[in-house]
């Protein structure tokens, strides 16, 4: 996989001047209107797409909120809230903050744990029993207060890979989660996230305006997803596009200012201007 990783890295360098100008000239589109969940579809483990009987995803005070106040136990009911359209090349930006206490029965690793899935399968293609969508996760984490004194890091904006693989630092890897260079946030402050996605070639994570991680070579395959249709996870198929989904893993979280800059047209132009 080394040649593939080097090729993707070289392509990034060749594309960047062209795309920088196109991105600056684009128009950001709001994905969340601050009033309701128009354009979004929930998928909760144990239910068909569109069903959210415990009102996990809601709008409170103009914020897209993930809440568990109707849950007696979490019971591994992992959830995702999908935006209506599939994208291939784009910039996504949002702000998030963890709030409140973890739902009863949530896994210890899921304390202050959420994320946004990129290049995800469609919610309607997920079986009721499926836990996570086949996708690449930009993982959001918050620091645990027990670790604040000794400085144990728990960075945010990490990469996790349910049913997928990536090329990281020029090497193919099947490691499920790879930490970023982001800081650890212990409180309930708002954190600004931005993700640059260019097909299967490049994903870059930014936290509060600083780049903290980059990788490419996105393909389907591997594990860490269950209850799915096997034919949707062929080993080694390039993952070039998909849906965006906000995650529900048992800790309450809120989102605001969710916006996208679609680069698809500009990316096609850039492809035609590549050096031989």
Residue in the block written with tokens 């990536």:
166
Number of compact structural domains in the chain = 1
**Residue numbers of the domain that contains 73:** 2-272
Q: How far is 242 from 159, CA to CA, in rounded Å?
A: 16
Distance separating alpha carbons of residues 58 and 215, to the nearest angstrom? 33
What order do you get walking across the sheet with 242-248 strand by strand? 40-44, 79-87, 242-248, 113-120, 136-141, 158-160, 177-178
Contact yes or no for 169/153 (Cβ under 8 A): no
Find the CATH number of the domain harbouring 112: 2.60.120.560
pTM of the model: 0.88
- Please compute, for residue 95, the number of CA atoms within 13 A of its CA located in the half-sphere on the CB side: 11
Q: pLDDT by residue for the chain (276 residues), tens digit each?
A: 233 333 344 344 344 444 444 455 589 999 999 999 999 999 999 999 999 999 999 999 999 999 999 999 999 999 999 999 999 999 999 999 999 999 999 999 999 999 999 999 999 999 999 999 999 999 999 999 887 778 789 999 999 999 999 999 999 999 999 999 999 999 999 999 999 999 999 999 999 999 999 999 999 999 999 999 999 999 999 999 999 999 999 999 999 999 999 999 764 334 333 322
Helix 2-25, helix 264-272: angle, nearest 10: 120
């Amino acid at each position: 996989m080394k040649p593939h990783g080097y090729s993707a890295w070289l392509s990034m360098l060749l594309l960047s001047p062209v795309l920088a100008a196109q991105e600056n000239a684009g128009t950001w589109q709001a994905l969340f209107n601050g009033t309701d969940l128009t354009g979004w579809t929930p998928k909760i483990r144990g239910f068909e797409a569109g069903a959210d009987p415990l009102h996990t995803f809601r709008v409170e005070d103009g914020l897209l909120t993930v809440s568990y106040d109707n849950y007696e136990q979490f019971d591994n009911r992992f959830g995702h809230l999908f935006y209506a359209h599939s994208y291939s090349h784009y910039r996504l930006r949002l702000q998030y903050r963890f709030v409140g206490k973890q739902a009863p029965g949530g896994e210890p690793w899921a304390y202050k744990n959420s994320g946004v899935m990129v290049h995800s399968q469609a919610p309607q293609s997920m079986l009721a029993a499926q836990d996570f969508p086949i996708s690449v996760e930009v993982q959001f984490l918050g620091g645990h207060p027990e670790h604040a004194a000794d400085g144990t890091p728990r960075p945010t904006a990490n990469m996790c890979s349910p049913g997928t693989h990536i090329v990281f630092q020029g090497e193919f890897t099947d490691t499920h989660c790879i930490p970023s260079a982001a800081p650890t946030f212990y409180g309930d402050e708002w954190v600004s996230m931005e993700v640059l996605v260019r097909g299967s070639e490049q994903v870059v994570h930014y936290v509060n305006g600083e780049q903290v991680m980059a990788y490419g070579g996105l393909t389907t395959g591997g594990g860490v997803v269950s209850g799915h249709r096997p034919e949707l996870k062929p080993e080694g198929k390039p993952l070039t596009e998909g849906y965006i989904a906000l995650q529900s893993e048992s800790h309450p979280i809120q989102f605001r200012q969710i916006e996208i800059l679609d680069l698809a047209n500009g990316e096609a132009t850039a492809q035609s201007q590549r050096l031989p």
